[in-house]
Structure 1
Amino acid sequence: MAVLLNCGCGHKVQPKSTPDTISVSSIQLGGVIPATTDRLQYDGTIQADKTINLSFQVSGTITSIPVQTGDYVLKGQKVAEIDETVYRNQYNAQQAQAKLAEENYNRTLEVFKKGSIAEIKMLQARADFDQATSAAKASYQNIVHTKLFAPVNGYIGDKKIEAGATASPGTPVVQLLDIRSVQVLVAIPESEINRYKVGNTAAVTVDALGGEPLLGKVSEIGVLAQQNSASYNVKVHLINPVKALKPGMLCKITFTPDNHIASTDSASHQEIIVPAQAVQVDEKGNNFVFVADEAGKKAFRRQVQTGALYSSGIAIKSGLVGSERLITSGYQKLNDSTPIILNK
C-alpha cells in the first residue's frame, strides 16, 4: 500500500497547453458600398512627349557642341559640328571633275553640230557631264551633314558625347526633349486595365508644383504587359504651356468613376472595400483576411478574391458578406481559430 501511495504521490499531471491570446485591432465592416463613389488613384512618372536622339549622317571628329544639358534650343539651331575638311576636299575634287566634263561636253557639242563626229560621241560626253555634276552634288551633301541642327524646339536632355570624340553615323550625340506637351506614364494592373479607354479624362497632381490638379486625357493604352509584371502602361497626355512639367517628375493620377467602361453585371457596382494592408497572400498565391467571431474572442481566416484597388482600400469580390469585424493589425501572428483580445 505504501509503495502504491508513494507512486501516486510522485506522479505529476501536465497542464493542457493552450494557444497564446493575441491582441489585435479591428474595424467593423459596414456592408457593401457603391464602387462608383470612389476614385481610382495611381502613381505615375512624367515623360517628354517626344524624345529625339540626334546623330550625324557622316563620320568625323566632333569640333564643337555649343549646347549644354538643360539648354532650351530653337528649331534650326546648331547643336553640334564635325570637321568638314575631308568632305570639303572631296567636294572640290568632284566639282573640278564636273567642270572638266562640262567643258568636254561643250566642245563635243560644237563639233557634233558641224557634223564632224557621230551623235553617240556627243551623247557620251553629255552623260559624263551629268554624272560628274550629280557626284559633285552628292559630295556637297556630306558637307551639309557635318552640322547638326535641332529639328524642333526643345530642351537638351543629355549630351551623349563630347567635342574631340569621333562621331559615327547613327550614333546619338545629343538628346532633344520636346516638352510643349508631356505624357504621364502609369502602370495599371491587369485586373483594371480594361476599365479605361483612349480619351478618358484624368486629374494629375504633381507635388513638386504644389499639388494643383491638372486635367489630362488618356492617349495610349498598352496591349503588352510589362516584363516580369502583370501591369500595362497607360499614357495620359498633358498640355505644358509654361514648361513647368519636367521629365522624371513623380505624380498622382486620379481617374474619376465616369471614366470606367460600364459593366453589364449589376453586382459589379456594389463592392466591399477594406484596408489594403489587411489582405495577405499565402504561399500558394491565395488572398486571405482574418475576421473576429461575434464574441470577439477568436480569429478566423477567410479566403477572399480581390478586385480593384481604390484610394480608400481594395475591393473584395467574394469571401466576405460585409458585416464582419475585420482584423487590421496583429494579424501577422494569427492562425485559424487563434484566441484574440480586441483593442479598445
Structure 2
Amino acid sequence: MVFYTRHFNKNWFVATIAGILLLLQSCESPDVTKDELEQRRPAYVYEVKSKTDQRKHSFVGKVDAKQRVDLSFEVAGRLTQLPLRPGVFVQAGTLIAELSSEPFALALEAASAQQALAQSDLRRKRDLLREGAVSPALVDDAVQMLRLRDAQLAQANKALSDSRLYAPFDAHLAYRYLDNHMMVQPGQPIVRLHDLGELFIRISVPEKLFAALNQAGIDLFATFDVTGDQQFPLRLQEYEGEAGDIAQTYAVTLAMPPVPGIQLLPGMNTTVIAQRQDLVPSLWVPSEALVSDPEGNFLVWVVTEGDGLVTSRRVQIGTADDEGVRIESGVSEGETIVTAGAQQLRPGMRIRPIIEAPL
C-alpha cells in the first residue's frame, strides 16, 4: 500500500476561519434586533402614489315625467266624448274629453236673455229720469242689475267653455279614470297626462356621497334594461335640502332628454352611475392618515425608510370622498405615511410598519 502526503497551508486555513467568524458575527448583530422590532408600536402604513382618479358609484333610480297632470272639469255634467285610449301621445290643444253641452248652452241662452232685458230696462229708466218721472236711485239699481247680468253671462260662457278638456302640452296619456256617459263632478280626475319632453330620474343618495355628487368633474349616466350597456348623460336637476329621517338619504332628481326610438316611461327602473375621472394624476391618501395640530393644520406622519422613524409633515388637502383625500402639497410620490394609529404617534417614535392595501 502506498501512502501520499499533502503539505498543509497553515496561513490559508487561518484566514478562512477568520472570515467565517466575521461573517457569523455580522449576521448575529443586525442594526435592529428582532426583540427591538417587536417592541415598536405596530402601525399601518401606506405608500403615497399618484394616480388618475376614476371612481364609480351606482344608484337605483326610477324614471318620472317632467310633469304629470290629472285633468278634471271645473263643472259637473255627463261625459259624452272621451275618444283617446291610454298609451297614445297627444299634442297640445288636442280635445281630451267633453261633457254634454246642452245644459250649458241653455244656461248661456238664459243668461244672454237676462242681460238683454237688463240693458233694455236701464235705457228705459234713463229716459224716464231725463223726464223727471223716476228718481236717480232707480237708475242706479238698473245699472247694478246690468252688471250682475253681465257677470252671469260671462259665467255661462265660461261654463260652456269648461265643458271641454284640452291637452295643455304635448303629452303621453298615461291613464283614463272614467268612461263615456258617466256623470262627472267638478275636480274629479278624468285622465292623467305625462310631459315626456324631458325625463326625470329620481334617486336616493347616502349622506356621505351627497356632497361629492355636485362637484366639478362628476359625470352622471343612466342605463336601462331595454338599452343594454348604452349610457345616457344626465344633469343634476334638483335635490331636497334635508335628509330622510330613517335612511339618512337625500332625494335627488336628475334630468335627461328623451331617447329617439326608445320609449322610456315613468315607473321604469334605471341604474344611475356617478363617475369621477381626473385627467391630471394626483396624490390621494386615506383619510385616517390625517391628523390636526392645535392651529388646525393638517399633518401626516412620514416614515423614514429602514429605521421606522416617524416625523410629522404639514400637508395641504383638496377634495375628499368616502375613499380618501386628495393631497395638494406636503408629501411626494413614493413616501410612506402612517394611516391607522396616527393619533398616538409622537416625534422621534419608531414604528413596526404593516403594509396597507392601496386605495
Amino acid at match of 2:173: I
Change (3 A) 1:77 1:256: same
CA contact (8 A) 2:48 2:285 kept: no
Tell me, in whole angstroms, the C-alpha distance in 2 between the residues paired with 1:101 and 1:88. Answer: 20
Tell me, in whole angstroms, the C-alpha distance in 2 between the residues paired with 1:173 and 1:198. Answer: 43
Confirm or deny that 1:81 pairs with 2:98.
yes
Equivalence for 2:173 = 156
Shift of 1:225: 4.0
CA contact (8 A) 1:201 1:218 kept: no
Shift of 1:76: 1.1
Q: Which runs of 5+ in 2 are unaligned?
A: 1-45, 279-283, 290-320, 324-338, 342-353
Confirm or deny that 1:98 pairs with 2:115.
yes
Tell me, in whole angstroms, the C-alpha distance in 2 between the residues paired with 1:322 and 1:250. Answer: 42
Shift of 1:121: 2.1
CA contact (8 A) 2:219 2:276 kept: no
Q: 2:57 aligns with which of 37, 40, 45?
A: 40
Q: 1:241-285 CA distances to partner (integer Å, 9 max, x unpaired)?
A: 6373322232221112269xxxxx964499xxxxxxxxxxxxxxx
Tell me, in whole angstroms, the C-alpha distance in 2 between the residues paired with 1:198 and 1:155. Answer: 35
Q: 1:252 aligns with which of 260, 271, 296?
A: 271
Please show how residues 4-43 of structure 1 align to structure 2 within 5 Å. 36-43=53-60
TM-score, normalization: structure 2? 0.60
Q: 1:127-159 CA distances to partner (integer Å, 9 max, x unpaired)?
A: 211211111111221111111111001110111
Confirm or deny that 1:220 pairs with 2:238.
yes
Equivalence for 2:127 = 110
Change (3 A) 1:215 1:115: same
Change (3 A) 1:129 1:207: same
Q: Which moved more, 1:35-44 or 1:51-60?
A: 35-44
- Of the two, which has the highest radius of gyration? 2
Tell me, in whole angstroms, the C-alpha distance in 2 between the residues paired with 1:147 and 1:318. Answer: 71
Tell me, in whole angstroms, the C-alpha distance in 2 between the residues paired with 1:85 and 1:68. Answer: 25
RMSD (Å) for aligned C-alpha atoms: 3.2
Amino acid at match of 1:248: G
Please show how residues 113-124 of structure 1 align to structure 2 within 5 Å. 113-124=130-141
Change (3 A) 1:118 1:42: same
Change (3 A) 1:66 1:269: farther
Report the secondary structure of 2:234's partner residue.
Answer: strand
TM-score, normalization: structure 1? 0.63
Shift of 1:36: 3.7
Equivalence for 1:285 = none
Q: 1:231 aligns with which of 243, 249, 261?
A: 249
Report the secondary structure of 1:116's partner residue.
Answer: coil
CA contact (8 A) 1:54 1:174 kept: yes
Amino acid at match of 2:100: D
Equivalence for 1:12 = none
CA contact (8 A) 2:52 2:277 kept: no
Shift of 1:218: 0.9
Aligned-residue sequence identity (percent) comes to: 19
Q: Which moved more, 1:48-57 or 1:195-204?
A: 195-204
CA contact (8 A) 1:180 1:243 kept: no
CA contact (8 A) 1:198 1:221 kept: no
Amino acid at match of 2:252: V
CA contact (8 A) 1:187 1:233 kept: yes
Confirm or deny that 1:205 pairs with 2:223.
yes
Amino acid at match of 2:274: F
Shift of 1:81: 1.3
Amino acid at match of 1:221: Y
CA contact (8 A) 1:41 1:253 kept: yes
Report the secondary structure of 1:39's partner residue.
Answer: strand
Amino acid at match of 2:172: Y
Shift of 1:39: 1.3
Tell me, in whole angstroms, the C-alpha distance in 2 between the residues paired with 1:134 and 1:214. Answer: 54
